[in-house]
Chain A
Amino acid sequence: AQSVTQLGSHVSVSEGALVLLRCNYSSSVPPYLFWYVQYPNQGLQLLLKYTSAATLVKGINGFEAEFKKSETSFHLTKPSAHMSDAAEYFCAVSENSASKIIFGSGTRLSIRP
């Protein structure tokens, strides 16, 4: 069975600081990995996805994530946080291109002025 674990239910950073949201996965097959963002009272939006191509994946809004097989990790980063980045972030995994997606527990990102 596949699963993802997000370390830290709440992360707070200062505006302009580095954002690092951690995600570790468990999968018996090469996984597809995703980061989704959910802004307050809005739907889910795909930030980026890893599908066995380049290990460093660039997404929208300046976010990127690196797939590290040796560490079974897919951490999300952004060099400089902006107030508009405040949201809930979900890491997710699926087995292949036609299977269900399993979500992590989510990390709430707060940005301090």
Chain B
Amino acid sequence: SAVISQKPSRDICQRGTSLTIQCQVDSQVTMMFWYRQQPGQSLTLIATANQGSEATYESGFVIDKFPISRPNLTFSTLTVSNMSPEDSSIYLCSVLPLAGLGNEQFFGPGTRLTVL
């Protein structure tokens, strides 16, 4: 398994500002993903964080709004830029361990973001 921590756990931000969320894993992982869970909704994949190269974004998500970094095999950041109230969500990091069997992804505890 993998133990995942996210910082901050929650934040309240003003419209127009940006927030960077950190995801740290206790072991090296092959893949890292960022999801968004809007209030009362399911999880939507934002992007796959690629180590050493640009992230791969899903339809409807762009790098300018959600820049992602992944400098190594255990750490990634997601920035929510120029925030609006519609960005209020839980943002979750998930990982696929190096020794994962059957593609079991592990999820972080999430970052609860409220934009005023």
State whether these chains interact.
yes
Q: Which residues of A contact B (CB under 8 A)?
A: 32, 43-44, 46, 49, 51, 90, 94, 96-106
Given contacts A32-B102, A43-B92, A51-B102, contact A103 B30 (CB under 8 A): no
User: Does B53 count as interface, using CB distance less than 8 angstroms?
Assistant: no
User: Does B45 count as interface, using CB distance less than 8 angstroms?
Assistant: yes
Do A98 and B31 touch (CB < 8 A)?
Answer: yes
Chain B: interface residue total (CB-CB under 8 A): 23
Q: Which residue of A lies closest to B56 (CB)?
A: A100
Do B102 and A97 touch (CB < 8 A)?
Answer: yes
Q: Which residue of B lies closest to A90 (CB)?
A: B42
Give the top 4 A-B pairs by smallest Cβ distance, nearest first. A51-B102, A44-B107, A97-B103, A103-B43
For this complex, 7 residue pairs linking A to B, each with C-beta atoms less than 8 Å apart, are A44-B92, A49-B102, A49-B104, A51-B102, A96-B103, A97-B103, A102-B45
Q: How far is the CA of A94 from the CA of B96 in the complex (A)?
A: 12
Given contacts A98-B31, A105-B42, contact A43 B109 (CB under 8 A): yes
Q: Which residue of A lies closest to B44 (CB)?
A: A103
Q: Produce 1/0 per residue, B39-62, CB < 8 A to A.
A: 001111100100000000000000
